[in-house]
Chain A
Amino acid sequence: MEWETVIGLEIHTQLATQSKIFSGASTAYGAEPNTQACAVDLGLPGVLPVLNEDAVRKAVIFGMAIEAHIAPYSIFARKNYFYPDLPKGYQISQMDHPIVGNGHLDIEVDGVTKRIGITRAHLEEDAGKSLHENFHGLTGIDLNRAGTPLLEIVSEPEMSSAKEAVAYMRKLHELVRYLGICDGNMQEGSFRCDANVSVRPKGQKEFGTRAEIKNINSFKFVEKAINHEIERQIELIENGGKVVQETRLYDSAKDETRSMRSKEEANDYRYFPDPDLLPVIIDEEFKAHIKANLPELPHAKKLRFKADYQLDDESATILTTSRALSDYFEAVHKASGCEPKLCANWITGDLSAALNKADLEITESPISHERLAGLLARITDNTISGKIAKQVFEALWQSSASADEIIAEKGLKQITDTGAIEAIIDKIIADNPDQVEQYRSGKDKVFAFFVGQVMKEMKGKANPAEVNKILKDKLA
């Protein structure tokens, strides 16, 4: 039988606020356990939550970026369950009235664009961490993370392969970082994914029974976990079994999912509006202010890059994946006045390769946009050739000198003096009569040999166009 897969993702993004969603404690990662948990985070008797406006702002920024409905009225609810790392015995979350309603995100898989619906995004507080190691059979509780603001982004069940799911997750990951609302650090848990997966016979309308895979923290694992789960479900059904609704955990070490709890064992969370918090009212003024300060979104920027800079689709896509990268590109273009295409090629080519190799972000680039612009300007005005430019680039990476200083210091200035070039060419023609004979008898390929010889002789500094022209004349 042919099967098709239905996938929906719930993604928890940690909002990059200074303090927690309901208290003034810091959200910085990696502090000593329980040093960033104040009385409110500890759930001590009598304390009360106060909503962090910045978390609301960041949620609204996200909602606008996915063209979603921003709820003028949203409320916080208590989700009740007992767990040692949940200090109050309930999590403050949103249930019936989330802050962000219906929106969408376009993904691209194998060159085809697909629109994925986003059902909702709601604000909630994170729990702490239970530490099971090094406590001699006991469990340690670290509440530093308790109260960290999360935006839970729930997609429609509209993805039909692990590949699509990963594309969606990557796109979302790009977006939240682009918007500056989440640092996207997956190792630190800033961006976590739960996947709802079901299968059904191809063509069937009703959904199959779904399993939810919890807490997958890398793109690679999402793909693996979903593919594994699809296989498990199909195999199960084909062997006469039935998928049960349950929560499963992905074990990356064993590359398998295993059951955590069934629907019957699931908690009744007894949601009800939190009486300690007032409804969140978002008025037009608040929205207008955010809208005015909203950065240009990746998709709009990509279209602009293609139209204004005549970039091809691939370059425009790469340059607009991150705000820092597109800013860098525009800065280089502006400072150098060079062809956008030349700027794009150097940034997506040599610079990106070097950054990748050194495991650096564009914001950490040893070559500032001014210094790269200086290099590109010298290519454009023919001071150096493209080949020499690569040497200068290396030097820019290693030092803090400008391209002009490097060119001057190393004597890399291109020779455009035709007299000097002619003299060298005459010498090479004289020294290589066999090759001259071959060329003249119609072996065009030998031309490259002459170019190479000239460049070698002139240490790469000859203007290639001039060399070509003179060579052609002399060999004719």
Chain B
Amino acid sequence: MHTKSLSELSHGLQTGEFSSVELTQAFIKRINQHQDLNAYITVTEELALQNAKAADARIANKKADALTGIPVAQKDIFCTLDVKTTCGSRMLDNFSAPYNATVIEKFNQAGAVMLGKLNMDEFAMGSSNETSYYGAVKNPWNTNKVPGGSSGGSGVAVAARLAAYATGTDTGGSIRQPAALCGITGLKPTYGRVSRYGMIAYASSLDQGGPMTHSAEDAAIVLQTMAGFDPKDSTSVDLPVPDYSVNLNQPLKGLKIGLPKEFFSADLNAAMATKLSEAIDEYRKLGAEIKEVSMPNLKLAIPAYYVIAPAECSANLSRFDGVRFGHRCENPVDLTDLYTRSRGEGFGKEVKRRILMGTYALSTGYYDAYYVKAQKIRRLISDDFKRALTEVDVIMGPVTPTPAFGIGEKMSDPVEMYLSDIYTIAINLAGLPALSIPAGFINDMPIGLQVIGNYFTEAHLLNIAHQYQQVTDWHKQTPKGFE
């Protein structure tokens, strides 16, 4: 059951081949068997079985939606009513929200069965899932390697089949990078497509939730449930949600693919370059035209991101002050002591680093030199993409510089870690949709191909990914021991 696609699972449930309770039990069994991967922070077994029962009743009443009865795991950044939401931090180890995130609400309405909450880098700050208060997550393709981050638990839960699908969030690559390193499909939608309400903010102008699945076909089904305008999120966009599945089989003949020369420079790892060129050859065979494009400001993406994201996070994380919720230090002697110890104890090193960077960048005397300048760069990068996307339909490139690196390998060198997102960050700055699809293996570790489209062209991206997955089987590979 656990290897089936979402449409197969839905079919199985509706024809009575298996029940949602059986399916849920099967996944819970797998979760328990593979606890060593550390993918889950919280497993909600009891709740899941309750919801599975309700889903079975709904299916029996012929009122099932595409996701009814299918077990999902949620990144622990989405607030869940009465279920602990930690955001991977000690700060929220004792926190459960009195509300559901809009995304969670939508899954509930669809009758999805939540298995639990997934491990992640603390407050989504990290590229390896090693900054989590709940410990590193192991990559099922090689348990000495990282799964990527910040949605590392999501990448692993899907790759190791500890859930039928998962959600992630992507601020600088946090869906696409772990998807690539775990060999699954991950889509970061256009900024504003998926509600951020109840999704704990890291960098508000960049954060975006999206699906992490086995295939583009599955991603289309999941995005259908996640997407849509939310009056509770002023930055969500009030545009109709198209049918993401209906055009999956459109032929790609005449598709114009742009390859930014800045992505394919001599800096690109040779093995990665070979694998990507094989993937692009597949598209050529499918009738696509390949064209080089240039986006000269891409090289400024990392520095601009590491001003904007920390600046926003420095304010977003101020609410964690030990006063109303979350970690509070023991016996504070005064207000300053309450603040400094609660925050000092509650936050990990990387979170503190980013709060400090952001506070510095916003300070009087530095604001223009850092924050304002970074915003200008952000505009230039967006303009680069806009220009390129008038010449081509989509842009393709690597997701990561290399396959998964070793656990502990980059933790002492933050800049080296930040460079893991060099190919993904610019897309967040521009607010564009992009997905990562499995495109082969280097030294037995999966790598991804990134497909970037124009605003609100998720349906087209999914079509392009699906066509590739019709002629390749990288996305069908399963790590040994997790079949």
Contacts and interface: CB of A to CB of B under 8 A. Distances in A.
Interface of A: 39, 42-51, 78, 80, 82, 84, 87-90, 141, 268, 270-272, 275-278
Given A47-B197, A48-B196, A48-B197, A272 B367 contact: yes
Nearest to B311: A272
B319 interface: yes
Given A45-B200, A49-B234, A88-B319, A272 B325 contact: no
Contacts of A39: 97-99
B318 A89 contact: yes
B87 interface: yes
Task: Name the 8 nearest CB pairs between A and B, nearest first.
Answer: A89-B318, A275-B205, A270-B362, A275-B204, A46-B198, A43-B319, A45-B200, A46-B79
Nearest to B360: A270
Q: Is the interface of A mostly helix, strand, loop or mixed?
A: loop
B234 A48 contact: yes
Contacts of B443: none
Contacts of A43: 319, 324
17 contacts: A42-B324, A44-B79, A44-B319, A44-B325, A45-B201, A46-B78, A46-B85, A46-B200, A49-B234, A82-B318, A84-B321, A268-B364, A270-B315, A272-B315, A272-B367, A276-B201, A276-B204
Interface string B192-211: 00001111110111000000
B363 interface: yes
Nearest to A88: B319
B197 to A, nearest CB: 5
B134 interface: no
Contacts, number: 104
A87 B323 CA distance: 8
Contacts of B318: 80, 82, 88-90
A45 B367 contact: no
Contacts of A84: 321, 323, 335
Contacts of A45: 79, 85, 87, 92, 95, 97, 200-201, 319-320, 325
B232 A50 contact: yes
Contacts of B205: 275
Given A90-B318, A276-B235, A270 B335 contact: no
Given A51-B234, A268-B363, A270-B359, A46 B324 contact: no
B312 interface: yes
Contacts of B232: 48, 50
B200 A270 contact: no
A270 B324 CA distance: 23
B254 interface: no
A277 to B, nearest CB: 5
B18 interface: no
Nearest to A51: B234
B339 interface: yes
A30 B92 CA distance: 32
Contacts of A49: 234
Nearest to A277: B234
A278 B85 CA distance: 28
A271 B204 CA distance: 16
B101 interface: yes
Nearest to B233: A48
A357 to B, nearest CB: 48
Contacts of B312: 275
Contact of B315 (A50, A87, A90): A90
Contact of A89 (B99, B321, B325): B321
Contacts of B196: 46, 48
Contacts of A44: 79, 97-99, 319, 324-325
Given A45-B95, A272-B367, A141 B323 contact: yes
Nearest to A272: B362
A43 B317 CA distance: 10
Contacts of A88: 315, 318-319
Interface in B193-250: 196-201, 203-205, 231-235
